[in-house]
Amino acid sequence: MSIAVKLKQRVGVVLAALALVAMSQARAEQPALWQQVASDLPMPYGVLLIDEKLYVSTVPDIVEVGEETGTHHPVKTLAEASPSGLLLDKDRTIVAVENGTGSLIRFNQNFEQLEVLAEGLGDPVTVKRLGNFYYVTDYNFGKGDGRLLRVTPGGATKVYAKLSGPGGFTIDKDEIFVAEFDKGQLVSLQKKGKVRQVVASGLGKPLDIVRLDSGGFIVSDFGGFDGATGRLLHVGENGRVTVLDSSTLGNPAGLLIHGGSLYVTDLIGGRLFKANLYKLLAETNW
């Protein structure tokens, strides 16, 4: 074998080795799927993003979080109880559930209280709006006989449906999908709550739910207060359940999709996470 051939072979080996090193470095330099946005949040639940300002409901404060720095400071203190949800209303005011008083309160964007929209909501978790009505889940902790309430513009409440420990929910036209924490299932309500159908079961302790534009849902399985780690789940239109994450998020609770980003709070670990939603779905083992 000539010196030229041997040299060519050695060069080939070196180039192949360099290519492997370059590939390894490229993989190492890729950002992690989950970014921890903030920590040391006392029992964070609801997440709200308004004009690049990020807010999280904790116990007992609503805090503003610096997404680039991870710093946070309280902007409003509520009655101390369970963490609860936030809503950006049609007029760009903020509607917050105050669990400690069982109330629904409207604030301006400086978090100055404007009005109490409703009282006597029991053990309220979160709020959504459809038309002129607000809908609030009343968990009724530990009793298994919660409710989905409809609140009129005048503050009157009506039981829309009786549920087993309802947590988060989402409204899609005339259909409401609710996570039943106590039964570990996702249910669909139609015809003013009179028609009820189980969409998926075996969801552990589902605490919140968001609808995907592409179809299906993302559900946070809280895990448990006993230290059991929770999961992030995908529920298809056919009810098929796929695990998106089971090790990173601690005890996932509140969910928010904004653009291509998914925000998840870790209720027990006191953290806020963020992921590229499309990358998360692309890397899932379906």
Peptide bond into 206 cis (omega under 30): no
Residue 142, pLDDT score: 61
Residue 80, pLDDT score: 84
Residue 28, pLDDT score: 40
| Two tokens, residue 21 | 């090193």
CATH says 38-282 is which class?
mainly beta
**Model-level pTM greater than 0.85?**
yes
In the sheet that 261-266 helps form, which strands lie side by side, from edge to edge?
34-38, 271-276, 261-266, 252-258
- Residue ranges, the chain, pLDDT below 70: 1-31, 142-144
User: What are the pLDDT digits (tens) for 55-69?
Assistant: 999 999 999 999 999
Residue 261, pLDDT score: 97
d(CA 246, CA 191): 36
Residue 2, pLDDT score: 41
Residue 143, pLDDT score: 66
d(CA 77, CA 209): 26
Residue 20, pLDDT score: 41
